[in-house]
Copies of this chain bind each other. A is one copy, B any other.
Amino acid sequence: MDKARGVSNRHQQESPDIGRLAPKDALRCSGCAVGGLCVAAGSDAATLSRLDEILRTDDSIDGSRIVIRKGDPFNGLIAVRSGCFKSFTIDRDGREQVQGFHFPGELIGLDAIDGKRHRADVIALGSAGLCSLDYSQLLQLSSCSDGLRDQLFRLFSSKLANQNWRTGDYTADERIAAFLLDISERLERRGCNSEDFELLMSRSDIGNYLGLATETVSRVFGRFNTNGYITVKRKRVIIDDRDGLSNLADAVLEQL
């Protein structure tokens, strides 16, 4: 009972770390650990093997490597294989705007299809891997498969839906509760431990993402800690009272 106090450690041993989701031998959609959440979901075997053909993977991304720069020509969709990425822009005053964090199975660069240029920088938070899918080839391939088309639309759709809560008018507490539950839920869907995890992003990233100052994030984390909602030490977070958090985040989560 040293660290994981206040919560069962039922997920302790079987849950993989977010960085370990893509074993070296699964360089294709057909064997991908997050296939069920990604582009391939709902595709038949034939489509799957053609997806494998147009797929380019890179599993050797080290922490803090910028994988996309704003203005880069858009060639294809980027899917996260493992690890976590942050997308952001820097305005002319040098101020950063964090647009989002991307987990395995999620697509990056969807907003670049229209203008054919990437609209944000994307950086790896820790070691990570990704796939790229050439857009015109994907467009071709999607003519053959109803399932693939549907899945692409669904991925777009859920991205749009998940965007809405951030624009609402919520308090710092509501935002952070919703943020923590969002991260937790995304980890869960990937088979990771959703009760006890490491935040891969810094306090200032979180604050920037949520429209709050770094200090406010720190303070709310501290308050949640003393109130028994979570146990937080630096980047390590344990969800102690999920219901309490949900209660706080209620107004926000109704948007989903």
Stretch at the interface among A57-65, A161-169, A183-191: A161-169
B156 touches A251 (CB 8 A): no
- Of residues 199 to 229 in A, which have CB atoms within 8 Å of B's CB atoms? 208, 211
Among B92, B139, B255, the residue within 8 A (CB) of A150 is B139
A219 to B: closest C-beta gap in Å: 17
Number of A interface residues in the complex (CB < 8 A) = 45
Residues of B within 8 A of A95 (CB): 251
User: B146 near A146 (CB under 8 angstroms)?
Assistant: no
Give the interface segment out of A4-12, A108-116, A123-131, A233-241.
Answer: A108-116
- Which of A140, A143, A164 counts the most chain B CB atoms within 10 A? A164
A111–B161 touching, CB < 8 Å:
yes
The answer on a CB contact under 8 Å between A167 and B254 is no
Interface residue ranges of A12-70 to B (CB < 8 Å) = none
Name the residue on B nearest A163 (C-beta): B163
Interface residues of A in 77-136 (CB under 8 A from B): 89, 91-93, 95, 97, 99, 110-115, 119
- In chain A, positions 128-187 with a C-beta closer than 8 Å to chain B are 139-140, 142-144, 146, 149-150, 152-161, 163-164, 166-169
Partner of A110, one of B89, B113, B143, B160: B160
Residue of B with least CB distance to A147: B139
A231 to chain B, nearest CB (A): 29
Bound-state CA distance A153–B155 (Å) is 11
The reply to whether the CB of A243 lies closer than 8 angstroms to some CB of chain B is: no
A166-B160 Cα distance, complex, nearest whole Å: 13
Chain B proximity of A127: nearest CB distance (Å): 27
A250 adjacent to chain B (CB < 8 Å): yes
Find A251's partner among B91, B140, B164, B208 (CB 8 Å cutoff): B91
User: Does B250 contact A111, Cβ atoms closer than 8 Å?
Assistant: no
If the complex has contacts A149-B143, A153-B156, A250-B92, are A167 and B211 also in contact, measured as CB distance less than 8 A? yes
**Is B255 a contact of A89 with CB atoms below 8 Å?**
yes
How far apart sit A190 and B114, CA to CA, in the bound complex (Å)? 18
Chain A to chain B contacts (Cβ below 8 Å), 29 pairs? A89-B254, A91-B254, A95-B251, A97-B168, A99-B167, A110-B156, A110-B157, A110-B160, A111-B157, A111-B158, A113-B153, A113-B156, A114-B157, A114-B158, A114-B161, A115-B161, A119-B164, A119-B255, A139-B146, A139-B150, A140-B146, A142-B149, A143-B143, A143-B144, A153-B156, A156-B157, A156-B160, A159-B160, A166-B167
